[in-house]
């Protein structure tokens, strides 16, 4: 693990040892305020999906901002365990959990907090039920509905209603409702974004009606994310939106969500400037997490990251960029995908007005299991 604090509070951010994950606290707080104030005035609420920052301190800020369901959303059992230990009492695991070992861990968590998870097969429902009965707990279960993302989920309509019935009848389980994760709709045109979002979400709402007509209560309808939170949050029948990236944001989202700003960047040092037009940073794949593409240089027009080695990042410098980059100087890099980037750091440095204010541990880093 990294050392938690390499410089005292008050240190100018550019004096932090590199590579360093740095979050601008004013921007983070503004992003939270922007999204949460929307949900404060709606029936639907946000359930922060904390997988994109993995940091309990940030999740506490999100819940404190209001407009939430009072709980969080995660993807793995390991994330749920970390956040449960940090006092989060209502955790939605937006995923299918199928192995005996993991189901036992979920049941053990359910002894101390409200756990809801997703299912998309009757076999899984049976396994969850058997374990819950054996361990004397109740698990909340939602039906995961496939809409747009080619991932998990049953088809909307009759297959989802049948699965809801199976959950409702299963001892040890409490049928909670429906979820669908449609994946990020990267559509800058707001009309297109709205049309595509509605096309995905409406079948879930139609299924809700069918489930209710079959005599079951639907407490939860969870759909949407940062890309379409206002659209999902305004559709009647949606109860919660598990948005995640909005807090820290990233370069991949930047052009689609202009009301939110990237709050997290990585500070790097120029370790070589061997010839005009070329420089190397002490920031490679291991310090940015780059499986969705190359990160972006922030604040130096004409500078681009053209390659990422394991521990080195290559910069191409065009025009005035060359004179703005000195050996030993600092360069700000914006990650393309914040979830992958955060996951390679143990700590995040929170800065305000360019000075270190706080260091938070990314406690759920690496909790893939």
Ligand X SMILES: Cc1ncc(COP(=O)(O)O)c(C=O)c1O
Binding site for ligand X (CB under 6 A): 49, 51-52, 73, 75, 94, 181, 184, 225-227, 242-245
Cis peptide before 17 (omega within 30 of 0): no
Nearest CB to ligand X, comparing residues 244 and 262: 244
Minimum distance from residue 219 beta carbon to ligand X (Å): 18
Nearest CB to ligand X, comparing residues 164 and 243: 243
Q: How many CB atoms lie within 10 A of CB 335?
A: 28
Minimum distance from residue 49 beta carbon to ligand X (Å): 4
- Of the candidates 284, 262, 348, the residue with the CA atom closest to the CA atom of residue 53: 348
Minimum distance from residue 47 beta carbon to ligand X (Å): 9
Read off the tokens for 296. Answer: 């972006």
Nearest CB to ligand X, comparing residues 232 and 270: 232
Nearest CB to ligand X, comparing residues 242 and 313: 242
Residue with tokens 């009848």: 169
Q: 143 - beta bridge partners?
A: 119, 178
Minimum distance from residue 222 beta carbon to ligand X (Å): 8
Read off the tokens for 25. Answer: 């606290």
Query: In this structure, are strands 240-241 and 347-352 parallel, antiparallel, or unpaired?
Result: unpaired
Minimum distance from residue 247 beta carbon to ligand X (Å): 9
Walk across the sheet containing 139-144 and list its strands.
45-46, 240-241, 220-223, 173-180, 139-144, 114-119, 90-96, 72-74
Nearest CB to ligand X, comparing residues 149 and 278: 149
From residue 190, alpha-carbon distances to 185, 187, 197, 237, 325 in Å are 11, 7, 10, 22, 38
């Amino acid at each position: 693990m990294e050392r938690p604090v390499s410089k005292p509070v008050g240190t100018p951010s550019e004096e932090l040892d590199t590579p360093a994950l740095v979050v601008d606290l004013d921007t983070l707080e503004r992003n939270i305020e922007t999204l949460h104030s929307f949900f404060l005035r709606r029936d639907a609420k946000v359930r922060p999906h904390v997988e994109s920052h993995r940091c309990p301190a940030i999740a506490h800020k999100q819940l404190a901002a209001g407009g939430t369901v009072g709980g969080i959303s995660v993807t793995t059992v390991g994330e749920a365990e970390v956040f449960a230990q940090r006092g989060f009492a209502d955790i939605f695991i937006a995923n299918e959990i199928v192995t005996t070992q993991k189901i036992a861990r979920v049941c053990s968590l359910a002894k101390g907090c409200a756990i809801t998870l997703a299912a998309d097969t009757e076999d899984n429902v049976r396994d969850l039920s058997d374990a819950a009965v054996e361990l004397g707990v109740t698990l909340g279960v939602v039906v995961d509905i496939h809409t747009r993302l080619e991932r998990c989920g049953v088809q909307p309509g009759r297959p989802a209603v049948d699965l809801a019935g199976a959950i409702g009848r299963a001892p040890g389980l409490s049928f909670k409702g429906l979820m669908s994760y449609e994946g990020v709709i990267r559509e800058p045109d707001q009309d297109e974004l709205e049309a595509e979002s509605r096309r995905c979400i409406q079948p879930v709402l139609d299924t809700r009606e069918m489930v209710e007509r079959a005599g079951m209560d639907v407490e939860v309808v969870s759909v949407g994310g940062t890309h379409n939170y206002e659209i999902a949050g305004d559709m009647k029948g949606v109860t919660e939106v598990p948005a995640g990236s909005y807090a820290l944001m990233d370069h991949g989202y930047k052009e689609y969500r202009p009301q939110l700003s990237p709050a997290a960047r990585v500070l790097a040092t120029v370790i070589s400037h061997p010839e005009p037009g070329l420089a190397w940073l002490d920031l490679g794949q291991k310090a940015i997490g780059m499986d969705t593409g190359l990160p972006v240089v922030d604040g130096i027009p004409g500078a681009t990251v053209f390659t990422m080695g394991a521990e080195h990042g290559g910069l191409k410098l065009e025009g005035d960029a060359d004179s703005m980059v000195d050996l030993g100087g600092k360069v700000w890099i914006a990650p393309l995908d914040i979830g992958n980037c955060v996951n390679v750091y143990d700590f995040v440095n929170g800065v305000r007005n360019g000075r270190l204010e706080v260091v938070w541990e990314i406690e759920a880093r690496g909790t893939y299991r």
